[in-house]
Structure 1
């Protein structure tokens, strides 16, 4: 059972989330992580900070940029319902780089999927592609 009242020093927090002090301070500076409670040598971190850092690490390992993680965190704070496992789609901006999956079905028939914006897992995308190929074969027989 988690203890929501427990507090942590910066060293303890670093050990728990397997990050160094510099990275945690950087996240605070960028606004990804809330500032510690108290000041100076009396500063401490709470279970809320631990959860924030674990969330940041989860999305960072999933390949999201810090800018995108900031957007996801802000969106999660606005939601009152439980968060989804896939982050909400990012608004498109000029100059943005996107990675698309491209399924060639036949001459003149192609499917383009932007996995992150589609909200589909890699397994779901593979299943969708397989189903579309099978359906196309059925239609063209």
Structure 2
């Protein structure tokens, strides 16, 4: 059987594909968010796994998740979302009016968001509403 080899990428190609700066890739690797490249020095290369990790990190960052929490999620120390509440469970939800006719209802505890992450998320949503009226 002829198996197609897994595609590999140099750091510049990986940066182009993900929109992440070279320095940021190295920072993520240093912090343990991104697996180290395969090979050594000039022969180092990245695989599809690295590409997927970087895209996931970018997605979570765009959603307002802190790098600290992203690290916990990637290490499996924290589940993505808690299970749905049982009937009769009492929760306190926040209702944020983004503009007339558009509201967001959220429960930061269920999302695992800190107060700072919640504020960041709301600010990003409000900015998006200003850009796209």
Q: Give TM class, smaller chain.
A: 0.5 to 0.7
Shift of 1:73: 1.0
Please say if residues 8 and 45 of structure 1, whose CA atoms lie closer than 8 Å, have aligned partners that are also in contact: yes
Larger radius of gyration: 1
Figure out how many residues of one structure are paired with residues of the other and give that number: 91
TM-score w.r.t. structure 2 length? 0.59
> What is the aligned partner in structure 2 of residue 108 from structure 1?
none
4+ aligned runs moved over 6 Å, structure 1: none
Counting only pairs closer than 5 Å after superposition, residues 18-97 of structure 1 correspond to structure 2 as: 18-75=19-76, 87-88=80-81
Q: Counterpart of 1:107?
A: none
Spell out, residue by residue over 1:93-113, the C-alpha distance to the aligned partner (whole angstroms, 9 max, x if none).
Answer: xxxxxxx6159xxxxxxxx95
Q: Give the Cα–Cα distance (whole angstroms) in 2 for the partners of residues 43 and 118 of structure 1.
A: 37
Q: Give the alignment's Cα RMSD to 1 decimal.
A: 2.9
Query: Which blocks of at least 5 consecutive residues in structure 2 are unaligned?
Result: 83-92, 97-104, 113-133
Whole-Å separation in 2 of the counterparts to 1:18 and 1:66: 17
Kept in 2: contact 1:4–1:46 (CA 8 A): no
> Secondary structure of the residue that 1:56 maps to in structure 2?
helix
TM-score normalised by L of structure 1: 0.56
Task: Tell me whether 1:16 sits opposite 2:9 in the alignment.
Answer: no
